[in-house]
Structure 1
Amino acid sequence: MGLAVCKRPCCWGRCGPCCHGAPGEEGSGSGTAGTHRANRFKSVYSYMPRTSQDLCLQKGEVFEVLHDHGQWLFVQQGERTGYVPRAFAASEDSLEAKDWYFGKLSRLDAKRFLLQPMNADGAFLVWWNEEVDCYYLSVRIRNLARHYQIQASSNTFYLVQRKKFPSLEKLLKHYYNNADGLCTKLELPCAKLDAPSLPSLSHNTIGDLEIQPRSFEKIKELGSGAFGTVWLAKWNGTTEVAIKELQVSAESMKNKMQDEAETMWKLNHERVLKLYAVCLNADPVFIVTEYMRNGSLRRYLKGHRPKRDLGFHSLVDFSIQIAQGMDYMERMGCVHCDLRSDNILLTEMLSCKIGDFGLASFTDNQSIQVIADMKLPIKWMAPEVFICCRYSIKSDVWSFGVLLVEIMTYGRIPFPDINNQAYINNMFTRSPLSAPEGCPENMADIMRLCWAMERTDRPPFKDLEKNLTKLIDAGLAEDMVQ
């Protein structure tokens, strides 16, 4: 019998049998008998086929890798073959295949993940801390996260000297049955809702920046403004994406979009929305990105405005994530030009991704020329944009300070007491901006750093990330259990 390509229908979001298994339990799932274990992989996330050549997989299923195509694998399970994303799979016996292992994280990430509402007391995860080169066990108890450093020596792992184990898995099994000094005994692994961003729409579009517009079907409008209209759409009838239509008519502008997109789609960072394609043969033209179900940061903040119940730690967490993404953009030589809360998208686990690159540019120079007909968000713009029509990464730093105002006011329009023309006049007269009423002084200090009139006086995003982290260092330190 020949090998068959998987074409069976499959529901979005279904989980395999090991989705919430106890530590050490293996998910069921078929594999090829006699397969060399070096080629046996396990699906870490469920995968819905995007093309007829893909393999449908449920989380926890085991398969054999036949061919490695970089970011995509051609695999076999039983008599079925097909493509799956490399990021969705891990070697069967590896740590990465475990439900409870989250790879490289920070304390902020671990805490944010554990405190999601779908996790209860005893939810836990293991992560690698690059700062100190060791594993940590993080556990939820009520509305707190406790982080325990895992000591390792001579092929043993332990939290305390009196209880040593030959593997991380056996260590977890022990605390699954008995708290034995932990804040609570372990229950279910932390929910893993955020699947990795894929490097391309599918295995056969890796080199295709320009995609035919007829392969997309609009589903519903998500929002619109002066910069375009955003739609939820489906590519190939299978894959949800976001498309942003741009009113661009001049051929020169289309060519500029093409040049910029060819570089921007290579951006690869967890805090940056993935650009998949452009459609310059459509009318209007549009760009294609991954789709974020939780929408914009501004919408999320506005939803919490009546109760103002997010807490300072959560607000600073959003700020730090955005600074991390902008630090990557700064290192890549990419200026965004439209950094505001409407253009920050949230994953299901409330991780931030910087989106909307309609005005972004790559430059080797200190700044770029602002084109006369560019539609800029006035109250986010730095003085040099109005005074000398120049924009740089330091102008993005200014915009970041205004974005901090949005975050601290739960998504309100910044500087409501002045209109756009008054804002521009203030830039020419070098009148300083003011932090919003009630803003903590240490956060206001960071805003003022961003609003230095001389752009060379504004700090790099790496320094802003460090300064923001210091605001919540004390709280993070209290979460650590030595």
Structure 2
Amino acid sequence: SEARLLSQKSLLDAKLASTVAAAPLPVLPVLQYEDDTRSIGSTDKMKEKSSRFDTLRHSLAGMMRSPKAMLGSSTSQFFEVIPTSERPLAEQEWYHGAIPRTEAQELLRQQGDFLVRESHGKPGEYVLSVFSDEQRRHFIIQYADSQYRFEGTGFSTIPQLIEHHFSTQQVITKKSGVVLLKPVIKDKKWILNHEDVVLGELLGKGNFGEVFKGTLLRDKMLVAVKTCKEDLPPELKIRFLSEARILKQYDHPNIVKLIGVCTQRQPIYIVMELIPGGDFLSFLRKKKEDLKMKQLLRFAVDAAAGMAYLESKNCIHRDLAARNCLVGDNNVLKISDFGMSRQEDDGVYSSSGLKQIPIKWTAPEALNYGRYSSESDVWSYGVLLWETFSLGVCPYPGMTNQQAREQVEKGYRMTCPQRCPDEVYKVMQRCWQYNPEERPKFLELQRDLSAIKKK
């Protein structure tokens, strides 16, 4: 209340007067940010003065915040010479860059939760996303006459606009009645700036954009950088970023590791560990004369181990194939390319239709009914095994996609590759059971192939 604030101010004024009388305050640097906790003086006496000043400064910081903040805000307790609302948009903790609408909606969970993001449909346009009355609402931030606004007062920057509505509790629009209560802070662990990454050699091109070899400047680490075409339809940009969203949660030696994402502006980058051996399909075709049976079995075990981990996380890959695996140091195989992946609570994902389906790798129930599961991934793993032991031959040789699909429905299964042990071919056949429930689990595949490898 106002009376409470006046009372606190009187007490602090008295405290300030007594402190100044006891000893002069040390000179502050021109700019002091919240992480600047260095002592100003080198002697014990100066440290004592600084300590007394810090105690007072922490108290005064409360005077500089809004009444709402004084009543329990989690914002910084330190005084900031540069107000938060005067900092660039990219530095705002509630600004999440070009994340998809669906991801923004997942972050909004409680009444008044809010964030700001760049529109995927219209780059350069910004959207306020808020959870209000059990709904996730999205408001385009209007820009006209050099002012940002919703429907009322305009401000010269978006941070000033958001700070105004947050601190005053003014509704976003009268019709919606939406009020901003709590900013959703972005996960800084994974956030990189575009300036943190230097792009180098072009490694390849995909459906979403180009892949570059790059350098992460902070520690001179070599990385792989996936870039997203700026003119992609919004649904494809969502698929592009879904890979990073999924990989944030995983840590396994047979799963490619995410380093971070650059979403503060277009084009979006996904930064991943650089895998020196390249994609598994090219590796098989290039090294086929040198690969021994033990090594092929190790690749098979690695892939099963990575997929068993994903299965334990209820993650459905949906695009498991040699082209989407990578060969790392010491020939360790890693599962990659999670652009089509989904994480479902019940382990089942129903698709209403995909424009690009890898027909020859996809299970019949997924092709016929759009029903994806870990069991459909097991079918794809069987095809991956066939690719491995045929040393990179395209599955169903001599058949078109449609012919292969029709033959599988009639009961046809690919024959055993020339170099493939009978025991491994039997594993493939188990993976290709028409009924999904009759296929083995990935842990079982990992165990059985490990046993074969040890013989």
Normalised by the shorter chain, which TM-score bucket?
A: 0.5 to 0.7
Three-state SS of the structure 2 residue aligned to 1:325 is helix
The offset of 1:370, in angstroms, is 2.7
Question: Is the counterpart of residue 241 in structure 1 residue 195 in structure 2?
Answer: no
The offset of 1:444, in angstroms, is 0.8
For structure 1, list consecutive stretches of 5 or more residues without a partner in the other structure. 1-204, 475-482
The offset of 1:431, in angstroms, is 3.3
Structure with larger Rg: 2
Three-state SS of the structure 1 residue aligned to 2:304 is helix
What is the TM-score normalised by the length of structure 2? 0.54
Question: Is the counterpart of residue 364 in structure 1 residue 345 in structure 2?
Answer: yes
Three-state SS of the structure 2 residue aligned to 1:349 is helix
Residues 214-293 of structure 1: pairs in structure 2 closer than 5 A: 214-226=195-207, 228-236=209-217, 238-247=220-229, 249-251=232-234, 254=237, 261-293=244-276
- Code of the residue aligned with 2:262 in structure 1: it is C
Three-state SS of the structure 2 residue aligned to 1:209 is coil
Three-state SS of the structure 2 residue aligned to 1:372 is coil
Question: Is the counterpart of residue 314 in structure 1 residue 295 in structure 2?
Answer: yes
Correspondence for 2:279: 296
| Aligned mate of 2:304, from 318, 323, 327 | 323
The offset of 1:250, in angstroms, is 4.1
CA distance in 2, matches of 1:217, 1:274: 19
Question: Is the 8 Å Cα contact of residues 209 and 262 (structure 1) preserved in structure 2?
Answer: no
The offset of 1:258, in angstroms, is 5.1
The offset of 1:437, in angstroms, is 3.9
Question: Is the 8 Å Cα contact of residues 405 and 436 (structure 1) preserved in structure 2?
Answer: yes
- Code of the residue aligned with 1:297 in structure 2: it is F
- Code of the residue aligned with 2:321 in structure 1: it is R
Question: Is the counterpart of residue 387 in structure 1 residue 368 in structure 2?
Answer: yes
CA distance in 2, matches of 1:471, 1:207: 44
Correspondence for 1:86: none
CA distance in 1, matches of 2:451, 2:238: 44
| Aligned mate of 2:331, from 350, 355, 363 | 350
CA distance in 2, matches of 1:312, 1:386: 33
Q: Aligned pair in 2 of structure 1 residues 451, 219: CA closer, same or farther (>3 Å)?
A: same
Deviations 1:235-270 (A, max 9, x none): 237221112234573445545665663342120111
- State the superposition RMSD in angstroms: 2.5
What is the TM-score normalised by the length of structure 1? 0.51
Residues 106-121 of structure 1: pairs in structure 2 closer than 5 A: none
The offset of 1:394, in angstroms, is 1.1
Residues 251-260 or 325-334, more deviating:
251-260
Three-state SS of the structure 2 residue aligned to 1:316 is helix
Question: Is the counterpart of residue 421 in structure 1 residue 402 in structure 2?
Answer: yes
Question: Is the 8 Å Cα contact of residues 254 and 280 (structure 1) preserved in structure 2?
Answer: no
Correspondence for 1:439: 420
Question: Is the 8 Å Cα contact of residues 227 and 375 (structure 1) preserved in structure 2?
Answer: no
CA distance in 1, matches of 2:329, 2:232: 36
Three-state SS of the structure 1 residue aligned to 2:447 is helix
Deviations 1:180-227 (A, max 9, x none): xxxxxxxxxxxxxxxxxxxxxxxxx97343433343222111122446
How many residue pairs get aligned? The number is 268
The offset of 1:322, in angstroms, is 1.0
CA distance in 1, matches of 2:350, 2:232: 20
Residues 7-156 of structure 1: pairs in structure 2 closer than 5 A: none
| Aligned mate of 1:212, from 187, 190, 193 | 193
Q: Aligned pair in 2 of structure 1 residues 304, 264: CA closer, same or farther (>3 Å)?
A: closer
Question: Is the 8 Å Cα contact of residues 319 and 468 (structure 1) preserved in structure 2?
Answer: yes
Correspondence for 1:339: 320
CA distance in 1, matches of 2:359, 2:267: 25
Q: Aligned pair in 2 of structure 1 residues 286, 337: CA closer, same or farther (>3 Å)?
A: farther
CA distance in 2, matches of 1:310, 1:423: 28
The offset of 1:383, in angstroms, is 0.7
The structure in which a higher percent of residues are helix is: 2
Residues 221-230 or 267-276, more deviating:
221-230
Three-state SS of the structure 2 residue aligned to 1:353 is strand
CA distance in 2, matches of 1:371, 1:257: 19
The offset of 1:323, in angstroms, is 0.6
The offset of 1:466, in angstroms, is 1.3
CA distance in 1, matches of 2:348, 2:445: 20
The structure in which a higher percent of residues are strand is: 1
CA distance in 1, matches of 2:266, 2:408: 38
Deviations 1:123-149 (A, max 9, x none): xxxxxxxxxxxxxxxxxxxxxxxxxxx
CA distance in 1, matches of 2:257, 2:349: 23
Q: Aligned pair in 2 of structure 1 residues 438, 260: CA closer, same or farther (>3 Å)?
A: closer
CA distance in 1, matches of 2:234, 2:208: 18
- Code of the residue aligned with 2:287 in structure 1: it is H
Three-state SS of the structure 2 residue aligned to 1:322 is helix
Question: Is the 8 Å Cα contact of residues 333 and 363 (structure 1) preserved in structure 2?
Answer: yes
CA distance in 1, matches of 2:255, 2:407: 32
Three-state SS of the structure 2 residue aligned to 1:379 is helix
Q: Aligned pair in 2 of structure 1 residues 246, 369: CA closer, same or farther (>3 Å)?
A: farther
CA distance in 2, matches of 1:227, 1:251: 11
CA distance in 1, matches of 2:392, 2:440: 24
Question: Is the 8 Å Cα contact of residues 208 and 237 (structure 2) preserved in structure 1?
Answer: no
Deviations 1:278-325 (A, max 9, x none): 3345545332211111212222222222x3x32211110110011111
Deviations 1:400-422 (A, max 9, x none): 11111111111222222212121
Question: Is the 8 Å Cα contact of residues 233 and 242 (structure 1) preserved in structure 2?
Answer: yes
Q: Percent identity?
A: 30
The offset of 1:465, in angstroms, is 0.9
Three-state SS of the structure 2 residue aligned to 1:220 is strand
Q: Aligned pair in 2 of structure 1 residues 435, 280: CA closer, same or farther (>3 Å)?
A: farther
Deviations 1:310-365 (A, max 9, x none): 22111101100111111111101111112112222222211121111111111112
CA distance in 2, matches of 1:374, 1:236: 38
Question: Is the 8 Å Cα contact of residues 222 and 232 (structure 1) preserved in structure 2?
Answer: yes
CA distance in 2, matches of 1:316, 1:246: 35
